[in-house]
Amino acid sequence: MPLLSINKITGGYGDSEVLRQVSMTVEQHEIVAIIGPNGAGKSTLMKAVFGLLHPREGNIVFDEHDISQLAPHQIVKLGMCYVPQVANVFTNLSVDENLEMGAFTLKTKYLETSKQQVYDMFPQLKERRRQTVGKMSGGERQMVAMGSALMLQPRLLLLDEPTAALSPKLVDDIFHHIDRINKIGIAIMMVEQNARQSLQMAHRGYVLANGENRQEGSGQALLADPKVGSLYLGG
């Protein structure tokens, strides 16, 4: 059984149908990249997986549990965490306090151990653990957001545009951290505007357009596909 199985879901906001019969899977320990043009429904899909909206048709199964109608806090308890594109940190709190907020379901006796694991993953954050996050750079804030999600040691991490608005150097840093997170056994499903770079590191990828599946395959196969290259990779 896949870790995550999205089965022909249709849904959106109000009467608006954003997703149409979308199906995808994420296997244990793999990175899956979702690419496509703006307005394709990528972020809506992530919200549906995490319970922020519920599909009108189809279902979503995580670790053999049907989560289609569950609330986000219930999904978190099953082992999934989500880092949205915006509003993903508490800017008025310190790094340390943000990590504690991310650990809202963790027993107190495990808090410091979990913090240390996050600081081992992001050593630059440990040096600035008392700093207010609102005074940090965009790349550092993104590391705090991912670190907060990792406090609960999820089996699947959802990342929505993790490198949006970052400089090329910071983009490379974030992708490096994503690779390290995956190497410790955490599966990752990510929507990413840097389509070429995300496919280079992904085990598999999906192309979403107009709310529908258009293509799927290994990251390398999609990179080598001339149609994908001309339509979605800029050449």
Q: Are 207 and 216 in contact (CB under 8 A)?
A: yes
Closest alpha carbon to 189 in 7, 24, 19, 69: 24
- 20 and 69 share a domain? yes
- 190 and 95 share a domain? no
Task: Kindly report the CATH number assigned to the domain that includes residue 212.
Answer: 3.40.50.300
Boundaries of domain holding 147: 86-153
Number of CB atoms found within 10 A of residue 178's CB: 23
User: How many domains is the chain partitioned into structurally?
Assistant: 2
Mean pLDDT for 77-101 is 95
- Residue-wise pLDDT for 163-191, tens only, equals 988 888 899 999 999 999 999 999 999 99
- Residue-wise pLDDT for 193-206, tens only, equals 899 999 999 999 99
Confidence of residue 62 (pLDDT cuts 50, 70, 90): very high
- 202 and 188 share a domain? yes
pTM of the predicted structure, to 2 decimals: 0.94
Last residue in a domain, options 137, 153, 169: 153
Q: What is the pLDDT of residue 235?
A: 59
Mean pLDDT for 33-51 is 94
Identify how many contiguous H helices and E strands the chain contains and give both numbers. Answer: 10, 10
- 92 and 138 share a domain? yes
Last residue in a domain, options 153, 176, 197: 153
Number of CB atoms found within 10 A of residue 205's CB: 26
- 72 and 1 share a domain? yes
Mean pLDDT for 114-127 is 93
Mean pLDDT for 35-64 is 95
Last residue in a domain, options 119, 137, 153: 153
Mean pLDDT for 24-34 is 97
Question: Percent helix, strand and coil across the chain, each rounded to 5?
Answer: 40, 25, 35
Q: What is the pLDDT of residue 108?
A: 80
Confidence of residue 16 (pLDDT cuts 50, 70, 90): confident
Q: What is the DSSP letter of 98?
A: H
Q: What is the pLDDT of residue 200?
A: 95
Q: Hey, what amino acid is at 4?
A: L
Q: For the CA atoms of the chain, what is the radius of gyration?
A: 17
In the predicted model, what is the mean pLDDT of the chain? 93
